[in-house]
Amino acid sequence: MEYKDLIGKRIRWIADRLLTVLFSICILIIVFILFQVTTFATFHIPSDSMYPALQAGDNVLVNKWIMGARIFNVWDALEDKEVKIYRLPGVGKVKRNDVLVFNFPYPAKQDSLAMDVMLYYVKRCIALPGDTLEIRNGFYRIRGTGEELGNMAAQRRISALTENDSRGVVMESFPWSKRLGWTIKEFGPLPVPAKGQVVSLDSISILFYQHIIRYEQKKELSLRDKLIYLGDSLIREYRFKENYYFVSGDNMENSRDSRYWGLLPESYIVGKATRIWKSKDPADGHIRWDRVFKKIE
């Protein structure tokens, strides 16, 4: 009996320890998930569109505290259903030249916005809500500031391009209107909307904002006899419900960014990329130690 009692006690002790370990593992998993959702996340860089700041094979740490983490129904997003996005309170603000990670807003077609929860882009913030952006001879300009924006070396290369020698770079740009004739060398002025801002709508301004008005209102927008209709209602001005941003890749000759697809909704932004925590050369698989823990600037 004493031997059986000893075995029983031993089994109970092992079971107790196993349950404790399993409980601890579950707690750690929950804490890790909460940390990923609310604080920091990591993303792999697959291309050179942000070269030289980021290279293919970099893994970046994204700070969600700056703007506040997003809360939404991931399962609905995965099924391409419409989702309502909420944000936790943030501890800062996005600034010009910050490097942002976001869901690409035009995964299906160029005439409407939709959030693909599995498709992430990383670009540099050029213009903030309320800014008026211009590109003059390839260089970014914000009215009222003399701040240098984006990759200046890349902008000098864009400045040197001509119609006869574009070196394979697509020169035509958002909003893809022959009437405006904007290019990646001569662009704007484009007022970037801020939440609550009211703009007058006409046959020109509707070209800038038609996609995001459809996105906000979930209604058809049309131009008839130089008049603008939202659904069946005639509108002459519009108040925006959300903040928007203009973003650019540092490798401007090989970057699909706001110059081509337009404005980025704030709700699509995951956070600010702050550091490279790991970097592996995709050609040979070797760790690039000189890039590990490098600050993203």
Per-residue pLDDT of 55-87, as tens digits, reads: 999 999 999 988 888 888 877 777 777 778 888
Three-state secondary structure readout of the chain? CHHHHHHHHHHHHHHHHHHHHHHHHHHHHHHHHHHHHHCEEEEECCCCCCCCCCCCCEEEEEECCCCCCEECCHHHHHCCCCCCCEECCCCCCCCCCCEEEEECCCCCCCCCCCCCCCCEEEEEEEECCCCEEEEECCEEEECCCCCCCCCHHHHHHHHHCCCCCCCCCCCECCCCCCCCCCECCEEEEEECCCCCCEEECCCCHHHHHHHHHHHHHCCCEEEECCEEEECCEEECEEECCCCEEEEECCCHHHCCCHHHHCCEEHHHEEEEEEEEEEEECCCCCCECHHHCCEECC
Threshold 0.85, pTM exceeds:
yes
Q: Can you tell me the mean pLDDT for 4-15?
A: 70
What integer pLDDT is reported at residue 206 of this predicted model? 93
Report pLDDT for 116: 78
- Out of 61-65, 113-117, 195-199, 253-257, pick the least confident: 113-117
Share of the chain above pLDDT 90, in %: 63
| pLDDT tens per residue, range 16-51 | 788 888 887 887 776 666 656 666 788 999 999 999
Q: Considering the domain delimited by 39-197+240-295, tell me its CATH architecture.
A: Ribbon (2.10)
Q: Where are the domains of the chain?
A: 1-38, 39-197+240-295
pLDDT-wise least confident of 76-80, 228-232, 249-253, 272-276: 76-80
Position 167 confidence tier, pLDDT thresholds 50, 70, 90: confident
